[in-house]
């Protein structure tokens, strides 16, 4: 609690991944997460003050007005000033909370003009990422412990994947999120995003990664036996590195428009 209040979160939380004995939220790497952390800390001050105030009142009552200390209690039943105060002050506190809360909600929900669009599809039990502007899609599968050992630097356990989602730094990324079979949820704590992946419904969110690095998240909707084993790994790189990756990826991964006619042909052939 003290550490949180003193703002020592940098020492306690990892960048882009959880750390042992972590107490606070993961470090922020997007403007939305900056605001979420600010709002979290702001609420913590308010809730701590209210809790301390109620505790002090309880202690005063217990000490000053117990049967021994105060044998003949007062018969007072109403106090207009006090009743108006304990109605108005909580209303004022709620309004003070509501203003930044709604501002944050609109900030999260209004997608700014996007530089790049990526569609994440939740599947049992892995994610697929499509880059519709560049017409390719690939699967992102969790690495086993043995596979992890071969990667340098070794990715964190249950979070590393074979094919990471790659985005450029300081660009606005629009995420389209959908489920292919059951409801999943796409979450990256450092970007402050968490949105359901629902079959038949395209959800949208956005983020702007402000620091290069690898940011991990996990499916956040119970989706079946391997729910815990479909991590999300986002690699944030410079714009030049991203352009180079995009060129490679276009060759490496099957093109969406190449794959689709075959599927359609196979389906209509079967009818
Ligand atoms: Cu899932």
pLDDT of residue 263: 45
Q: What ranges in 110-255 are assigned the alpha helix state H?
A: 145-149, 239-252
Strand partners, 213: 236
Question: At how many degrees (to 10) do helices 80-109 and 31-64 cross?
Answer: 160
Q: Which tens digit of pLDDT belongs to each residue from 49-80?
A: 999 999 999 999 999 999 999 999 888 899 99
- Rg, Å, the chain Cα set: 25
Give the pLDDT score at 265: 44
- Cβ neighbours of 223 (radius 10 Å): 21
Q: What is the pLDDT at residue 11?
A: 46
Query: Distance between CA atoms of 36 and 189, rounded to whole angstroms?
Result: 10
| CA of residue 185 to ligand 1 center, whole Å | 6
Q: What is the pLDDT of residue 270?
A: 41
d(CA 92, CA 95) in angstroms, rounded, equals: 5
pLDDT given at position 1: 52
Provide φ and ψ at 264, rounded to 5°: -65, -45
Q: Report the separation in Å between the CA atom of 196 and the middle of ligand 1, taken as the mean of its atom positions.
A: 10
Residue 69 CA to ligand 1 center (angstroms) comes to 60
Q: How far is the CA of 239 from the centre of ligand 1 (A)?
A: 30
Distance 79 CA to ligand 1 centre (A): 56
Residue 83, class by beta-carbon neighbours within 10 Å (0-12 exposed, 13-18 middle, 19+ buried)? Answer: exposed
CA of 216 to the centre of ligand 1 (A): 15
Rounded distance between C-alpha atoms, residue 94 and residue 88, angstroms: 10
For residue 237, the CA-to-ligand 1 centroid distance in Å is 26
Give the residues of the chain that fall short of pLDDT 70. Answer: 1-14, 254-271
- Residue 207, both tokens: 């983020």
| Residue 2: predicted pLDDT | 53
* Distance between Cα 125 and ligand 1 center (Å): 6
Q: How far is the CA of 128 from the centre of ligand 1 (A)?
A: 12
């Amino acid at each position: 609690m003290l550490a949180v209040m003193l703002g020592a979160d940098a020492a306690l939380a990892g960048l882009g991944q959880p750390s042992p004995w972590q107490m606070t939220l993961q470090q922020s790497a997007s403007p939305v997460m900056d605001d979420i952390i600010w709002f979290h800390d702001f609420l913590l001050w308010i809730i701590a003050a209210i809790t301390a105030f109620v505790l002090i009142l309880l202690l005063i009552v217990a000490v000053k007005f117990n049967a021994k200390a105060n044998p003949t209690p007062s018969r007072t039943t109403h106090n207009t000033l006090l009743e108006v105060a304990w109605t108005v002050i909580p209303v004022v506190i709620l309004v003070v909370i509501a203003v930044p809360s709604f501002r944050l909600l609109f900030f999260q929900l209004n997608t700014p003009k996007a530089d790049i669009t990526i569609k994440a599809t939740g599947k049992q039990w892995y994610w697929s990422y499509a880059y519709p502007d560049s017409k390719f899609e690939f699967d992102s599968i969790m690495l086993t412990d043995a596979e992890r050992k071969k990667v340098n630097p070794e990715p964190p356990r249950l979070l590393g994947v074979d094919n990471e989602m790659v985005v450029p730094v300081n660009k606005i990324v629009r995420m389209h999120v959908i489920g292919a079979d059951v409801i999943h949820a796409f979450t990256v704590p450092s970007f402050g995003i968490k949105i359901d992946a629902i079959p038949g419904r395209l959800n949208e969110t956005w983020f702007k990664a402000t620091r290069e690095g690898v940011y991990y998240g996990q499916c956040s909707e119970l989706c079946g036996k391997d729910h815990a084993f479909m991590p999300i790994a986002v690699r944030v790189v410079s714009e030049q590195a991203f352009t180079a990756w995009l060129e490679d990826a276009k060759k490496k991964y099957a093109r969406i428009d190449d794959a689709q006619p075959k599927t359609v042909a196979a389906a209509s052939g079967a009818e």
